[in-house]
């Protein structure tokens, strides 16, 4: 399985051919092509397989020069997309290059997004030397000159795009592939609760099992109630993975000789800033009365009476610290209006439904401001007194002094 799905944003003025470019890359009429101003409104996502690149989500955005109040809202949405993409294409046409394009370039640089500049419609007007010089004044990004209606230019575009794509979107392109060997037994201990979809496993469970299979492991799945029965078989798993919410029950039954972690912690390493989580988690012990704690749910879901982020975690953290705390819960990727430094701690979900880029951009302002960050699974492990055990499987990748958690890490 590839957990790697590149997100590529297409940006530029109206009628530069962004929709035509997506159709060219995919070989399909996916995006509406029209000379009418402002045809593309909200960003449009299309997941496709691009030859020589692999699975990718292409994001068609509204024109950066759209007019009026509605146009301004479209531009804001287009700029928000930059936070979620792994790479970008800045499309120009007719040798137009000015403030609109410079603004985009500045955003790409600020958010560390690799990008390519494509001059389109060269069948009408080829890129001029003066345009190239203007571009080079602001950036060293590669520039190519194409027509989306010229089939042979597709290879030129894909070749240029491959040069800017990160070798891997995530720290690892696997959840457990570097933790196990082929033919290892992997024990998956699950909990079926009110948040689980009828007749199906939840996404993190599903992805973890698939990742283990793709790494040629033998996967054994049990509910926590059947764990004792499995242990009687005498099979020794190379790794056990469970739901963070049942750490307490699993740790009581599972021998310490069997490495243990959770779905949430695996996703924390795959998508989040794992070293920041490792540093931030012990700061739970430093919370004081009336401190503000921010709970970040990256996806929206139907809440239940035992909801992990809204009910269980706040209660467990308060019980562990013995402090009266103020919790703010933010769902999805909504804009935060609070002063970042108002928070004493940020608790981020596993992020299984968002891109690594989205999650990192969400956390980075807090990390830069010195606000401790942790993850659902790591926070649950800490308040249950099993933090050292469930992160020990990662020790060979991270240097961590549990007696001085503020020290830097070596990855």
pLDDT tens for each residue of the chain, 411 residues long:
344 578 899 999 988 999 889 888 877 665 444 444 444 445 678 877 777 777 788 999 988 877 666 667 778 888 888 888 889 999 999 999 999 999 999 999 988 899 999 999 999 999 999 999 999 999 999 999 999 999 899 999 999 998 887 654 444 578 999 999 999 999 999 987 655 556 678 888 999 999 999 999 999 999 999 999 999 999 999 999 999 999 999 999 999 999 999 999 999 898 888 999 999 999 999 999 999 999 998 765 444 435 787 888 999 999 999 999 999 988 876 667 668 889 999 999 888 777 788 888 889 889 999 999 999 999 999 999 999 999 999 987 766 555 555 444 444
- Is there a single domain that holds both residue 239 and residue 300? no
- Is there a single domain that holds both residue 245 and residue 159? no
Q: What is the DSSP string of 213-257?
A: HHTTPEEEEEEGGGHHHHHTT----SEEEE-GGGHHHHHHHS-TT
On whether residue 67 sits in a domain, the answer given is: yes
Number of domains in the chain: 3
The boundaries of the domain holding residue 304 are 274-394
pTM, whole model, 2 decimals?
Answer: 0.73
- Is there a single domain that holds both residue 12 and residue 151? yes
- Is there a single domain that holds both residue 27 and residue 144? yes
CB proximity list for 107: less than 8 A, separation 6 or greater: 79, 82, 113
- Is there a single domain that holds both residue 202 and residue 317? no
Asked if 5 and 57 touch (Cβ cutoff 8 Å), the reply is yes
CA–centroid distance for 253 within its chain: 33
CATH code, domain carrying 387: 3.40.50.11410
DSSP H or E segment with residue 206: helix 203-214
């Amino acid at each position: 399985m590839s957990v790697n799905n590149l997100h590529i944003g297409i940006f530029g003025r109206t009628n530069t051919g962004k929709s035509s470019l997506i159709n060219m890359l995919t070989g399909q009429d996916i995006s509406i092509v029209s000379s009418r101003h402002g045809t593309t409104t909200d960003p449009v996502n299309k997941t496709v397989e691009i030859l020589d690149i692999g699975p990718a989500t292409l994001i068609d955005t509204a024109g950066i020069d759209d007019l009026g109040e509605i146009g301004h809202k479209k531009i804001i949405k287009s700029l928000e997309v930059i936070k979620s993409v792994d790479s970008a294409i800045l499309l120009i046409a007719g040798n137009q290059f000015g403030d609109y394009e410079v603004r985009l370039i500045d955003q790409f640089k600020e958010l560390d997004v690799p990008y390519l500049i494509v001059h389109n419609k060269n069948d009408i007007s080829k890129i001029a030397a003066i345009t190239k010089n203007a571009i080079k004044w602001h950036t060293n990004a590669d520039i190519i000159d194409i027509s989306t209606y010229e089939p042979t230019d597709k290879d030129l575009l894909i070749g240029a795009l491959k040069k800017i794509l990160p070798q891997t979107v995530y720290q690892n392109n696997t959840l457990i592939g570097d933790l196990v060997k082929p033919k290892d037994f992997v024990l998956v201990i699950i909990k079926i609760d009110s948040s689980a979809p009828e007749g199906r496993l939840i996404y993190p469970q599903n992805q973890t099992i698939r990742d283990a299979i793709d790494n040629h492991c033998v996967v054994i799945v049990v509910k926590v109630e059947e764990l004792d029965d499995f242990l009687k078989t005498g099979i020794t798993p190379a790794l056990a993975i469970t739901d963070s919410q049942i750490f307490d029950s699993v740790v009581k039954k599972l021998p310490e000789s069997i490495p243990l972690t959770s779905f949430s912690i695996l996703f924390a390493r795959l998508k989040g800033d794992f070293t920041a989580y490792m540093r931030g988690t012990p700061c739970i012990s430093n919370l004081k009365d009336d401190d503000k704690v921010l709970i970040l749910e990256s996806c929206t879901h139907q809440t239940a009476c035992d909801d992990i982020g809204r009910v269980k975690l706040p209660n467990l953290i308060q019980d562990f610290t013995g402090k009266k705390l103020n919790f703010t819960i933010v769902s999805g990727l909504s804009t935060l209006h609070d002063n970042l430094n108002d928070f004493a701690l940020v608790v981020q979900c596993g992020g299984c439904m968002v891109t690594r880029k989205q999650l990192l951009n969400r956390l980075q302002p807090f990390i830069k401001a010195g606000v401790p960050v942790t993850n659902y699974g790591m926070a649950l492990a800490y308040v249950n007194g099993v933090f050292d055990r469930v992160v020990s499987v990662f020790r060979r990748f991270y240097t961590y002094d549990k007696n001085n958690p503020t020290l830097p890490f070596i990855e």
